[in-house]
Amino acid sequence: MEKKSLAFKLNISVLVLFLLILIAGIYAIIMINKSQEFAQETGTNWLPSVKSISQISDAYGNASRRHVSIIGSYGTKHSAEETKVDLEKLQEFLKILDERFEKHKKIVDPGEETKALNELIENWTKVKVTMKEDLNLAQAGKGKESFQHFYANTLPLFLGSRQLITNLSKINNTGAIESTKQGSYFTKITNIIMSIIGVISIIIGIFILQLIKKSTTSIAIATENLKKQSIATNQIAASLKNESKSLSESVSEQAASVHETTAAINEITSMVNRTAENAKESTNVATSASEKAEQGQVTMKKLVSAMETIQESNAQLQNIAVIINQINSKTAVINDIVSKTELLSLNASIESARAGEYGKGFAVVAEEVGNLAKISGKSANEIQELITKSQEEVNKILDLTKERVEEGKKVTAEAQESFLKISEDISNMSTVIQQISEATREQEIGVRQISTAMTNIDRATQNSQVAVNTTAESSHVLVSQSEQLDKTTKDVEFLIEGSNN
């Protein structure tokens, strides 16, 4: 079942009490008005009617007595003057009685009273006729006949009118009594109902007092707990205020560190970009060096081939030496030898030109051989000496050429081996540089991601700083609210318990 609040209970109780008071007030007003109506009816209707009937009865009695007195005076020795006075009095009483009837018609209650009044007036009309007849007989000197007529006709009508007046008086008395009883009844009912409403109001008032007392006790306990919570809240707010201050300083330091880290990351990004560019250039240089190493290797292969050609030329020089040894016995064929020698000299020049630096010495030899061939062609007499000298020179050249060819082959082999190693190293270096370039690109991507993350951290730090400032402001507000709560608690406690002084 849902538990109702104190305000709801108080409002309902006060509302019920208010409704009871309102209903009691309205009912009291209605019943008072009703009683007032009966009292007014008694005062303005029945009592005036009773008074009017009483006046009619008095006037009727006066008129009937005066009529009897006048009839009796005609049988006695009354003076004419006295009889005249009695007749005037009778006429005055009759006039008063008619006026009383007319006046009573205005206040008569419709219904039974009106019917009784009409019967009385009708009977009174008959009475006035018989009274006139009585007077006429008496004035004619017929006193005895007048008395007989009175007793026979007028007196019964007199008595009938008196009875009708009595009935009319009873009707008014009964109406007045009934109206008074009704007013008294409504007054009694009003007193009973008002007493019941008063008792119910007292019960509701006691219930409200008990409810207020119980609620006041609960509020006092809640106020005490609220006071404790206010103190705890104040302490928490003060602690939160101090922690917010420390956190604000930490966040400020963190923001400064983040700014410095972001600047460092930007510098690292710039360095990584430069490293990536250098790695790219190194890759290009390594590629170019690799191509040049391959070209050098091709050149070394050509040099080896040239050295082999020189070695073949050396073998041919050996053949020349053999030919020179045979010149002595074959002088007849010297021209042919010269021709061959020139041819060999030309070939040697070509081969030496191919050999480059390594074939320079052999070119000189080839030139000398050509000169010797020319000299041999000019002078056969000098052939012997020249052949001897040529043989010596050829031997020297053969030795020198052989030695240099061996050295050239050795150097060429070493150079070729070095070029192979250089080519391999350049190839490896190109691979490594390419890997470095790829790693640098990945590093650049990572640094960019770190830079983005640092930017987000910077933004989050700024948001944290704003949140810390907001928390600090909230802590100030919380302190103020806790103080206000403490003041409110004291006010509530004062309202419940009153002043302690």
Q: How far is CA 94 from CA 60, 252, 281, 387, in A?
A: 8, 125, 158, 220
Q: Give pLDDT, residue 60.
A: 80
| 8 A C-beta contact, residue 290 and residue 430 | yes
Confirm whether pTM is higher than 0.85: no
Confidence of residue 266 (pLDDT cuts 50, 70, 90): confident
Q: Give pLDDT, residue 203.
A: 87
Q: What percent of the chain has pLDDT over 90?
A: 0
| 8 A C-beta contact, residue 124 and residue 161 | yes
Is the sign of the CA dihedral 102, 103, 105, 106 positive or negative? positive
| Tokens standing for residue 63 | 């008129």
DSSP category for residue 109: P
Query: Is the pLDDT at 140 greater than 70, yes or no?
Result: yes
Which tens digits make up the pLDDT trace of 221-256? 877 777 777 777 777 767 776 776 776 677 677 777
CATH level 3 topology of 282-437: Helix Hairpins (1.10.287)
Which tens digits make up the pLDDT trace of 152-207? 888 898 888 888 888 887 877 777 777 677 767 777 777 888 788 788 878 877 88
Confidence of residue 43 (pLDDT cuts 50, 70, 90): low
Helix (H) or strand (E) holding 288: helix 155-327
Query: Is the pLDDT at 288 greater than 80, yes or no?
Result: no
Q: Say which residue the tokens 């009964």 belong to.
A: 174
Q: How far apart are CA 16 and CA 205, in angstroms?
A: 10
Q: How far apart are CA 190 and CA 188, in angstroms?
A: 5
Confidence of residue 369 (pLDDT cuts 50, 70, 90): confident
Cβ-based neighbour number of residue 436 at 10 Å: 19
Confidence of residue 493 (pLDDT cuts 50, 70, 90): low
Q: Give pLDDT, residue 394.
A: 67
Q: How far apart are CA 240 and CA 236, in angstroms?
A: 6
Q: Domain locations in the chain?
A: 7-224, 282-437
Mean pLDDT of the chain: 74
Query: Is the pLDDT at 17 greater than 60, yes or no?
Result: yes
| 8 A C-beta contact, residue 337 and residue 321 | no
Q: Is 356 left (phi over 0), alpha (psi -120 to 50) or beta?
A: left
Of 106, 441, 123, nearest to 131 by C-alpha is 123
DSSP secondary structure, 201-250, as one string: HHHHHHHHHHHHHHHHHHHHHHHHHHHHHHHHHHHHHHHHHHHHHHHHHH
Q: Give pLDDT, residue 314.
A: 65
Q: Which long-range contacts (CB under 8 A, 24 or more apart) does 96-103 make?
A: 96/59, 96/62, 97/56, 97/59, 97/60, 97/63, 97/124, 100/52, 100/55, 100/56, 100/59, 101/56, 103/52
Q: How far is CA 124 from CA 101, 120, 155, in A?
A: 10, 6, 12
Q: Give pLDDT, residue 442.
A: 79
Confidence of residue 384 (pLDDT cuts 50, 70, 90): low
Confidence of residue 386 (pLDDT cuts 50, 70, 90): low
| 8 A C-beta contact, residue 324 and residue 383 | no
Give the chain's end-to-end CA distance (angstroms, integer).
43
